[in-house]
Amino acid sequence: MAQTTLFTKADIDRRVAEMGAEITRDLAGSDLIAMCVLKGAMFFCSDLMRQIAFDVALDFIQISSYGNQKTSSGVVTILKEPQLDMRDRTVLIIEDIIDSGLSMKEVFRYIKLDRGAKEVRTATFLDKPTARKVEFKADYIGFSIDPKFVVGYGLDFAEKYRNIPDIQVLEE
């Protein structure tokens, strides 16, 4: 499959630094937990955390993925639960990409209602706003893109391409 570069590693670094500065301004003084949504957000979370200029705890949640499909099954299940108690804390959910909105909406609901987080904020590296099936707007968005399938910087297709340093469009 052919691939074309959408964002280079330099584009990514620049934007993640801006997002970290914005989060530092907005959330300084909060007892923050960075909640990395596995597996795709691993690199973004790792980079973003290091651009936040105050102490941040780290936890992980894993949800069911697309399997080998390019579109969501619509059913979101939690495969790995976070470990930390978040009832008195602010949680920043960190996702790689929001497409239909189903995954983020369910993670948000779980963190807020089932786990009782005091406050919930959301950050996504990429957003495909025209692909929504349910309404969801993240607080922090790296780049809004057309509804094309992208890989690299943690994002995969059937577990491939995650380790590409930049973001590429996967063309048939």
The conformation of residue 160, written as its DSSP 8-state character, comes to B
Residue 120 within binding range of ligand IMP, rule CB under 6 A = no
Write down the catalytic residue from 47, 96, 99, 127.
99
> What part of residues 50-69 is at the interface with Mg ion (CB under 5 A)?
none
CB hemisphere CA count around 117 (13 angstroms): 24
Residue showing the smallest CB distance to Mg ion in the complex: 40
Determine the Cα–Cα distance for residues 169 and 172; give it in Å rounded to an integer.
Answer: 10
Sign for the CA dihedral angle at 89, 94, 100, 103 comes to negative
Count of beta carbons in the 10 Å neighbourhood of residue 73: 12
Site track for ligand IMP across 31-50, x = CB under 6 A: ---------x----------
Query: Residue 25 CB, nearest distance to Mg ion (Å)?
Result: 27
Q: Are 21 and 51 in contact (CB under 8 A)?
A: yes
Is residue 40 close enough to count as binding Mg ion by CB under 5 A?
A: yes
Instruction: Tell which one of 98, 107, 111, 138 touches ligand IMP (CB under 6 A).
Output: 98
Specify the residue, 16 or 97, whose C-beta has the smaller distance to Mg ion. Answer: 97
Active site residue 99: yes
DSSP codes, 135-156: ----SEEEEE--S--EEBTTB-
Can residue 100 be called a binding residue for ligand IMP (CB under 6 A)? yes
**Minimum CB–partner distance for residue 37 and Mg ion (Å):** 6
Q: Is 56 in the site for ligand IMP (CB under 6 A)?
A: no
Degrees to nearest 5, angle at CA 95 with 57 and 18: 75
Point out which residues bind ligand IMP (CB under 6 A): 40, 65-66, 72, 95-104, 149-151, 155
Point out which residues bind Mg ion (CB under 5 A): 40, 96
